[in-house]
Structure 1
């Protein structure tokens, strides 16, 4: 009987049936990780034994070694399976109802972005006269805010130098063994990114003799860590805080916000699905800018007689 099936067994069947080939491979890998955690934490828990109490205990056990956001993702995966089981009559109540999401204390992460003078110091360390290299890759992300996989997927054809535009409509699947082009993260990620004239000149020279439809920066297997380690050495040489490649994307967005560019425009440039994502990611900068705006409002009002 299904009720005697262990929870992890049902989750595995559900995951294979509903998620395999229906979500992106990188997303499916997250479901697989949830499955492995479920096997470890609740190897004997049966579907018939699921209650709010033991489900909450399962979440609490997971949260002992994971941050709150990660625990939330784990909960979402399990809840999706259990709600389907409830709808099919395989369980008679929702054990996930009113679940409390806990987690370990948020760890202090590396610096997320550089200030303008720090970014300039970093860019000054780039070598841009030796053909295609990671220096050009770093420059591209710093100037456009592209995601790592988006930048890997860029081909010479994606540049419209006459109109100073870069089209983002694909990524490179660097996490798979074979690689290859892949879709963007979401529909909003398909976009046209305006380029400054310096970037146009630099990349028009770089791509002049490259195959039009081949990724500029992919030559064999690419690892995120390889580029991050290279960027780390550049940061140390420039004597600026060490950031990741993704930190270059944060740097790009942060500098635009400080320059007075609207949240809507930054969201479109980054390919965010909505402005809420942008607001949540850069809330500290937005609050700082709001405080500056309040000072300006007060000074203006005080000047009125």
Structure 2
């Protein structure tokens, strides 16, 4: 919040802000105390949707990657519709929660969660600058429709079935892309960004160097996190297959297929008789397979390019059904032996 103090013959308004994860201060001097207080009052009468837009354009534009910035802009269009007349200084958790809950009646919980993250960021910035008097952002909850998980990991038997099919049909470049996915757990954008020189032998292992990531929505090829830049080992037969691919005119190894890999994967799995999942689901499958075979969590986390082991635990290590059944049996046997 803003603090106002007398400085000689003038009054200074001082507010705390957070930029790039660090605390900083903004100050401005006024001739009278009334003018100093008036600055915060004027901001409180700003429409929340207008404040959000200015916040994104002046603060987040320098704080996040272009792809993330674009998501903030998209969220702004939703905020325009949800809060057309809401004034910044009049907002409270009850009012906002009611509107968000209404939105959640027709949208998934994940969609509401992503929107709420951006709303909270803007509200906390407004609180730090003294434009709102209560830090109620943490009180807001995301409620929405629970949709079936699309990124479902394949069972061990389905993974084996998929791998055998792919190895028998290596004349199809897309099949090689899927084969690389289940062999490495790379993100789709990371696979699309591979260049011939990124596939090499380091004297001990065959590897794929992850240096960039391709997105269908931006020309930005920066990796998702600092730990995303990594060297991922691959089997020798996968290395040999990758070396047979003719590089595209763009310099990349794989055709981007107009970013229609999701539909192509769906058709492939249907043809083989395997439950539908996504490329991210195959990444999940790779991690689950390693974990189910007692590969250390720290290694799996590094292989996936996560910044934290907690991320790996939270999102990627769902046990495959066969492993869960065997562990259930082991647990029951132990209990019965007491």
Answer whether contact 2:156 2:289 (CA < 8 A) is retained. Answer: yes
- Residue 91 to residue 296, structure 1, CA distance change in 2 (3 Å): closer
Is 1:35 the counterpart of 2:35? The answer is: no
Answer whether contact 1:4 1:48 (CA < 8 A) is retained. Answer: yes
Answer whether contact 1:156 1:215 (CA < 8 A) is retained. Answer: yes
CA separation in 2, counterparts of 1:293 and 1:240?
25
CA separation in 1, counterparts of 2:80 and 2:335?
62
CA separation in 1, counterparts of 2:71 and 2:153?
27
Query: In the alignment, which residue of structure 1 is the partner of 2:211?
Result: 169
Answer whether contact 1:228 1:244 (CA < 8 A) is retained. Answer: yes
After alignment, is 30-39 or 284-293 more displaced? Answer: 284-293
- 5+ unaligned residues in a row in structure 1: which ranges? none
CA separation in 2, counterparts of 1:112 and 1:75?
25
- Residue 301 to residue 50, structure 1, CA distance change in 2 (3 Å): closer
> Aligned Cα RMSD in Å?
3.0
- Residue 13 to residue 194, structure 1, CA distance change in 2 (3 Å): same
Matching residue within 249, 252, 267 for 1:215: 252
Query: In the alignment, which residue of structure 1 is the partner of 2:221?
Result: 182
Please report how far the alpha carbon of residue 211 of structure 1 lies from its aligned counterpart in structure 2 after TM superposition. Answer: 7.4
SS state of the match for residue 135, structure 1?
A: helix
Deviations 1:146-186 (A, max 9, x none): 1010000111111123531111121113323xx4x611110
Query: In the alignment, which residue of structure 2 is the partner of 1:227?
Result: 261
Answer whether contact 2:287 2:317 (CA < 8 A) is retained. Answer: no
Answer whether contact 1:158 1:166 (CA < 8 A) is retained. Answer: yes
CA separation in 2, counterparts of 1:300 and 1:83?
50
Query: In the alignment, which residue of structure 2 is the partner of 1:295?
Result: 330
Please report how far the alpha carbon of residue 17 of structure 1 lies from its aligned counterpart in structure 2 after TM superposition. Answer: 0.7
Identify, as 1 or 2, the structure richer in strand: 2
CA separation in 2, counterparts of 1:242 and 1:97?
36
Please report how far the alpha carbon of residue 50 of structure 1 lies from its aligned counterpart in structure 2 after TM superposition. Answer: 1.4
Is 1:259 the counterpart of 2:300? The answer is: no
After alignment, is 63-72 or 227-236 more displaced? Answer: 63-72
Size of the alignment, in residue pairs?
A: 292
Answer whether contact 1:122 1:234 (CA < 8 A) is retained. Answer: no
Query: In the alignment, which residue of structure 1 is the partner of 2:200?
Result: 160
Which has more radius of gyration?
A: 2
Larger relative contact order (C-alpha < 8 A, sep ≥ 6)?
1
Please report how far the alpha carbon of residue 81 of structure 1 lies from its aligned counterpart in structure 2 after TM superposition. Answer: 1.4
Deviations 1:229-280 (A, max 9, x none): 2112211221111222222111211211222212211111111121111111
Q: Which runs of 4+ in 1 moved over 4 A?
A: 286-291, 296-303
SS state of the match for residue 112, structure 1?
A: coil
User: Equivalences for 1:1-305 in 2 at 5 Å?
Assistant: 1-99=42-140, 101-110=141-150, 112-126=152-166, 127-129=169-171, 133-161=173-201, 162=203, 163-176=205-218, 179=219, 182-206=221-245, 210=247, 214-218=251-255, 222-223=258-259, 226-282=260-316, 284-285=318-319, 292=327, 295=330
Answer whether contact 1:3 1:47 (CA < 8 A) is retained. Answer: yes
